[in-house]
Chains A and B, each alone.
Chain A
Amino acid sequence: MPFIPHTEDDIKQMLATIGAGSIDELFSEIDTSLRDVDISAVPTRASEQAITRLMQARAQRDSGGLCFIGAGAYEHHVPAAVWEITTRGEFYSAYTPYQPEASQGTLQVVYEYQSMMTGLTGMDVANASLYDGASALAEAVLMAVRANRKSKSARILMPESVHPFYRQVAHNICANQQIVFETIPAEATSGRIDRDALAAWADEDVTALVIPQPNFFGVLEDVDALTDWAQNHDALAIGVVNPLSLALLKAPGQWGHGEGVDIVVGEGQPLGAPMAGGGPYFGILCCRKKHVRQMPGRVVGRTTDLDGRDGYVLTLQPREQHIRRSKATSNICTNQGLLVTAATIHMSLLGATGLENVASTCAATTRDLVSRLTAIDGVERVHDAVFFHECALRVPGRAQDVLEALAARDIFGGVDLGRFYEGMDDCVLVCATETKTGEDLQAYADALTDVLTESSEAA
């Protein structure tokens, strides 16, 4: 019996100990009408060998293709040691450190993770992670509404240059909390938050302003001015960042001329998680110390044991659902422990220099790609502002058609921005990370040239 160790003799002896005639008898408290179930539509069991062949065939089917898609999930090299260690059974098959003395490994890893994230973001406190970047933004919004006691409006200014899926998730999770999301448009030429549109809210009660850096178009926002705007208007500033970009860019804790943003969230995937079709990733959430008791999720603290040795425990638990029940800061109970373990190992291996080298190589590679692609007739940049490692390009014809034609050549050319933004049906968001060589970039440029030539001939 797969994964069940019982011998016939065990079963007999155990039933005798219990005083039951059969295993079925152990279910006797359940109404008999409920006990006759037909699950024959579930296939009969497959051997490990058979399922291995099936999965290999399916994985093979999904293999191949040169990926220039970013939009919230990025292809990076993950050192071999990261998942070798992360999937050790002692990390992989442990649970929430409810017994801290038997969970010091997991707890210390999280403490180290929190230390690294506060370093990277320049913030005071990091939690032990949330589910992903999008749900972290939703939690940050809920947190801001609790933390900003000067504001009564529960009004969140949400730029349309924030990842469209993040905006949807924030809306869906906050839907029943009387939170009002006001969209701030992006400037057509720069791709940045439209400052005039923002200024229209100057005399209103605003709870928080969301500031993406880089934004969904890859463009860098004027984060100093935006953070100052929030602080001057008694609104909390919520930064949404790509953690890798922080190796090059000013830390959110230093944005503006005051004390930086209040809350930072982001998608942790670029720090050691494979793309894996969308998850599991992890959500970063950091904040100022003054907001720590409004923070959702787990957090690990250092303390001492009876002999005075350093040790680690889950702390600030009175914020959480298992104690506060209906008055908790969130219903969340897990973090993404395994992903945080991978990220901590990943950041340790890369170090500051490694992270800077990866970030600047990504930025340089995308610049190289953009110059190769914009050399093609009819292809041009959509925005004129400086970008990190993603860029929106206008192409002749419909982006969707161009991308499909590229996919037929095994090149995933980017994201069709028309899917998310009106009037951008001819725009593609491209990304080239450190994993792409000059040959890869040229392969994209050549394929795009072919595709565009074919479509102009067809027309």
Chain B
Amino acid sequence: MTEKLIFEHSRPGRAAAAQVPAEAPTIDDLPAAMRRDTPLGLPEVSELDVVRHYTRLSQANFSIDTHFYPLGSCTMKYNPRACNTLASLPGFLNRHPLAPASHGQGYMACLYELQEMLKTVTGMAGVSLTPMAGAQGEFAGVAMIKAYHEARGDTERTEILVPDAAHGTNPATAVMCGCKVVEIPTDSDGDVDVDALAEKIGPKTAGIMLTNPSTLGVFEQDILTISKMIHETGGLLYYDGANLNAILGKVRPGDMGFDVIHMNLHKTFSTPHGGGGPGSGAVGVSKRLLDFMPIPVVGCSGGGDDPRYHWLDETDVPHSIGRLSAFMGNAGVLLRAYVYARLLGREGMQRVSEFATLNSNYLMTRLKSAGFDLAFPDRRASHEFIVTLKRQKAELDVSATDFAKRLLDYGYHAPTIYFPLLVPECFLIEPTETESRETLDGFVEAMVAIWNEAKNDTATLTEAPVTLPVRRLDEVTAAKNLDLKHDAAAQDTRSVA
């Protein structure tokens, strides 16, 4: 079932000749010392070889289009086809980023309207679309917090508070921004431990990074108290938008008191995950951070029937943390988010969080009834929830990983199992709003069936998967004997051997 490497399809002299200029003109003025004299190492293959090889490789993937993909914290919802089709219109694809604004009014209109919609739906005063992924949005957010304090001469504020349940990007980002990370414990209900928080805040507090609903799948019940505490001590609040899908159109980070947020447009606004990117991490800010936003931002003058769009730069955003990408972030992704937002409209945005929450609570209830243990049994689910397989591990010696691998055999992508670190043998499950009741029921049946298999013969789980192109892979050896590229010489040796 495994597919050879493209290099192994290569035959000397074969080519996809329709794709390239037929001739290579000689460049006389290029000195010999600057010229390349080593092979490029690219395969020599026909167009059909290429099409068949990569089509086959695509078929070795699970994806939203082919499988239920309840990967917690990743919001794997359906990516409407229209978004890709319309963002790929030639007028958009062929526009150079430095082409004059007079020849980009259509594109800029979309971006401006997207900024406005995101402002409204999050309750923020300004939006900058340029960060290229959630992690870069986080970077922009913390950099703005730091710049804000520094602009006020408040240079002692260097501590960023991060709950111990937070995504790893939060502490990594705080450090990249030159801040010290202060960890805050979580209480038994999954909320931030407010008493512990009170002890850690003070004159060094630059801000707090919160995900709400949290990474534990529950809404932070004390958010208004926390917000008040942080602001009173002189710090700012950062909203990690990883879980925005849970509250879209229902509750707004701005109303909770957040000063800066990032949104993962590849989650909440359904732009493609693309096998790991491109993401898109737009940021929203409260009034006090408007002058610190990353550039470029789209401005609008004229209005009414004759709006004119222009780029805002350093002169318009005087304390801007500056440019974070060569041009305009993941520009084409923003168009996809725009189309999605327009297709939803305000009613549709509210329905996103309502049905994501309905699906999540339904799936949680059904798994609980089937005998599975919930990490937070007394809480409502948000758009996601956590099952802990601690008991199965103790009684049957099968791990969350074993359950996950067996689910693949049943045709379901596994939930998130490596995170959050606080819950042992966890399954962080996020069904999203675009899945039907039958799909959720099927998932419950598979979970029950796998549990029964474990009771009969644990090997069914520990040896899974058995139906995929490969069985379990040796990650330890992969890290020890690094093989990070195809070696043409080694291939020759292999074929001889």
Q: Are A and B a genuine interacting pair, yes or no?
A: yes
In chain B, positions 242-278 with a C-beta closer than 8 Å to chain A are 247, 249-252, 255-256, 270, 272-278
In chain A, positions 229-253 with a C-beta closer than 8 Å to chain B are 246-251
- Which of A186-194, A347-355, A448-456 forms contacts with chain B? A347-355
Q: Does A280 contact B (CB under 8 A)?
A: yes
**A197 surroundings in chain B (CB, below 8 A):** none
Number of A-B contacts (CB under 8 A): 682
Q: Is residue B19 within 8 Å, beta carbon to beta carbon, of the partner chain?
A: yes
User: Does A442 have its Cβ within 8 Å of any Cβ on chain B?
Assistant: no
Are A27 and B106 neighbours in the complex by a CB distance under 8 Å?
no
Taking a contact as CB atoms under 8 Å apart, the answer to whether A333 and B135 are in contact is yes
Given contacts A40-B346, A304-B473, A322-B168, A118 and B77 within 8 Å (CB-CB): no
Q: Are B95 and A276 in contact (CB under 8 A)?
A: yes
- Residue B423 interfacial (CB < 8 Å): no
Q: Would you call B485 and A305 a contact (CB within 8 A)?
A: no
Within the assembled complex, what's the spacing in Å between the Cα atoms of A18 and B321?
A: 47
Asked whether A135 and B325 contact (CB < 8 A) given A301-B483, A334-B278, the answer is: yes
* Chain A min CB distance to B188 (Å): 15
Q: Chain B 314-337, CB within 8 Å of chain A: the 1/0 string?
A: 000000011111111111110100
Among A65, A344, A355, A403, chain B packs the most CB atoms within 10 A around the CB of A65
Find chain A residues with CB under 8 A from B346 CB: 39-40, 42-45
Cβ distance A232 to chain B, nearest Cβ, rounded Å: 19
- Measured between beta carbons, the chain B residues less than 8 angstroms from A10 are 436-437
B211 to chain A, nearest CB (A): 14
Q: B275 to A97, Cβ gap below 8 A?
A: yes
Contacts of B92 in A (CB 8 A): 59, 62, 276-277
CB contact list, A102-126 vs B, under 8 A: 102-106, 108-109, 111-112, 114-116, 118-120, 122, 125-126
Interface pair B40/A247, CB less than 8 Å apart: yes
Given contacts A4-B434, A45-B348, contact A65 B178 (CB under 8 A): no
Cross-chain contact B327 with A72 (CB below 8 angstroms): yes
Expressed in whole angstroms, the Cα–Cα distance for A355 and B42 within the complex equals 9
B472 closest partner in A (C-beta): A306
Per a CB cutoff under 8 Å, which of A2, A6, A93, A97 touches B436?
Answer: A6
Binds B, one of A147-155, A166-174, A375-383: A166-174
B61 touches A105 (CB 8 A): yes
Contact A279 B330 (CB under 8 A): yes
Is A275 part of the binding interface, using a Cβ–Cβ cutoff of 8 Å?
yes
Q: Give the CA-CA distance A333 to B29 in the complex, in Å.
A: 43
Contact B278 A349 (CB under 8 A): no
Could you say which residues of chain A place their CB within 8 Å of the CB of B36? 246-251
Q: Kindly supply a per-residue 1/0 record for chain A positions 159-181, scoring 1 wherever the CB is within 8 Å of any chain B CB and 0 otherwise.
A: 00001011011011101111000
Check B235 for interface membership: any CB of A closer than 8 A.
no
Neighbouring B residues of A102 by C-beta, 8 Å: 61-62, 67, 408, 413-414, 465, 468
- Does B300 sit at the interface, judged by CB under 8 A? no
Considering the complex, give the chain B residue whose CB is closest to the CB of A338. Answer: B274
Residue of B nearest to A99 (CB): B414
B365 to chain A: closest residue by CB: A18
Interface size of A by CB at 8 A reads: 200
Name the residue among A58, A91, A323 with the largest chain B CB count within 10 angstroms.
A58
Q: Which secondary structure characterizes the binding site on chain B?
A: loop
Q: Is the CB of A321 within 8 A of B37?
A: no
Would you call B288 an interface residue if the criterion is a C-beta within 8 Å of the partner chain's C-beta atoms?
Answer: no
Complex CA gap A31/B21 in Å reads: 64
Cβ proximity bits B1-30 to A, threshold 8 Å, 1 near / 0 not: 011011100000001101111111111011
What residues of A have a CB within 8 angstroms of the CB of B76 in the complex? Answer: 93, 95
- B475 adjacent to chain A (CB < 8 Å): yes
Contact check: which of B123, B168, B328 meets A37 at CB < 8 Å?
B123
Q: Say yes or no: is A292 at the interface (Cβ < 8 Å to chain B).
A: yes
Contact at A303–B132, with CB atoms within 8 Å? no
The residue from B2, B44, B146, B324 contacting A176, defined by CB atoms under 8 A apart: B146
B163 at the interface (CB under 8 A from A): no
* A30 contacts chain B at the CB level, 8 A cutoff: yes
Task: Assess whether B486 is in contact with A112, with CB atoms less than 8 Å apart.
Answer: yes
Please tell me if the beta carbons of B54 and A345 are within 8 angstroms of each other in the complex: yes
Contacts of A105 in B (CB 8 A): 57-61, 275
Is B99 a contact of A412 with CB atoms below 8 Å? yes
A272-287 interface with B by 8 A CB criterion: 274-282
9 A-B pairs within 8 Å (CB atoms) are namely A4-B434, A6-B355, A51-B343, A91-B58, A119-B39, A126-B485, A134-B326, A168-B322, A223-B34
